Amino acid sequence: MKLDILAFAAHPDDIEISCAGTLLHMKSLGKRIGIIDLTMGERGTRGNANLRMEEASHAGTILQLSIRENLHLPDCFFSYSEESLLKIIHVIRKYQPEIVLANSLQDRHPDHGRAAKLVADACFYSGLPKIITEYQNQNQEAWRPANLYHYIQDFNLIPDFLFDISKYIEQKMEIISCFKSQFYSPDSKEPETPISKADFLDFIRSKAKTYGREAGFSYAEGFNFSRKPGITDLFHLK
């Protein structure tokens, strides 16, 4: 199955928190979208791997994903290695996306920046035919996505562009709430984390509003390029 957009995440919930609004908009345009989670988030302070998989499945249903897969790399301890790169190259070649979304270039959680580097390099290496990967006992064709964008996560990085999610903010918040084990509950007996505090979801909404204000949108999500973009029409910039 060829996809239009393949979004990668170090952990289930990274994408939902950071760029679900963008994916909802692209889905409304008929684009085929998939998510690849590198890990199961099994070392997260709250919940467990099985619960995270259930929550990810629920979120994926609302997003109407074409596919969602998990590469089962070790949470917190996945490395920049040939093995990790080949697993990512394999799914890039399998789904041949035009656009790849990846974790933030730098962030509070060390996994995010490391995943960003892995996915960015895998996108390049995936286009080299002498790197051999197989699918169903056949060599895969080399494939390099046309564009790679890094969604902004916890740190307030300066975005290279802002995507209007004004129509989708409420649905985005619903999707984030699928990961209820990670967020505030007055009845929870689990340890508090930076994202389980009572005001975290308000922070997410406020951040989207702040990004939106810069571009004249009600709400927006921010992205960074890994290379300089080119444009052909000045009138298409907002």
Stretch 61-90: mean pLDDT: 97
* Per-residue confidence (pLDDT) for residue 29, from 0 to 100: 97
Domain hosting 91: range is 5-236
pLDDT tens column, 173-215: 999 999 999 988 888 888 999 888 889 999 999 999 999 999 9
Sign of CA dihedral 194, 197, 201, 206: negative
- 231 vs 141, residue with greater confidence: 141
Task: Report, as an integer, the average pLDDT of 89-102.
Answer: 98
pTM: 0.95
Of residues 226 and 116, more confidence is placed in 116
Q: What tokens appear for 200 in the block? A: 């975290």
Q: What is the CATH number of the domain that holds 156?
A: 3.40.50.10320
pLDDT confidence band for 154 (50 / 70 / 90): very high
Of 20-24, 71-75, 97-101, 133-137, least confident by mean pLDDT is 133-137
pLDDT class of 155 with cuts at 50, 70, 90: very high
Total domains, the chain: 1
**Residue 90 contacts residue 138 (beta carbons within 8 Å):** no
Find the helix or strand (DSSP H, E) in which 202 lies.
Answer: helix 200-215
Residue 238 has pLDDT above 90, yes or no: no
For the chain, the helix, strand and coil percentages under 3-state DSSP, each to the nearest 5: 40, 15, 45
Say if residue 20's pLDDT is above 90.
yes
pLDDT of residue 187: 82
